[in-house]
Amino acid sequence: MCVFCQIVNKQIPAQIVYEDDNYLAFNDIHPKAPIHILIIPKKHLESFHLVKEPQDRELVKGLFDVAWKIIAQQGLPGCQLHMNSGYDH
């Protein structure tokens, strides 16, 4: 089981900043910026560019909706959005 699945399953603790039925967002344990939040789908997706099912493609697209919600909730004046996928990043 990958580390993100373990966080989703609450087997590894995380400082959660957002959660709904499909997504989990939490503070990075090794932040590269004063505010560094990771947003993941709760469903394990090996790599977003390999996603074929329409519902999984919608799940990937929804990551940006979650980012928008977090930016609004935290009152951030700006941000950088980066997407990592798979193991070779």
Q: What is the mean pLDDT of residues 74-88?
A: 85
Amino acid at 38: L
pLDDT of residue 88: 62
Q: What token pair was written down for 48?
A: 């977003």
Segment among 24-28, 61-65, 76-80 with least mean pLDDT = 76-80
- Residue 84 reports pLDDT greater than 90: no
- Going along the chain from its start, the domains and CATH numbers come out as 3-74 (3.30.428.10)
Q: Is 9 left (phi over 0), alpha (psi -120 to 50) or beta?
A: alpha
Euclidean distance between the first and final Cα of the chain, in Å? Answer: 19
**Which pTM value belongs to this model?**
0.90
Query: 41 and 59 in contact (C-beta within 8 Å)?
Result: yes
Does 89 score more than 80 pLDDT?
no
How does pLDDT run across 25-52, given as a tens digit for each residue? 999 999 998 999 999 999 999 887 889 9
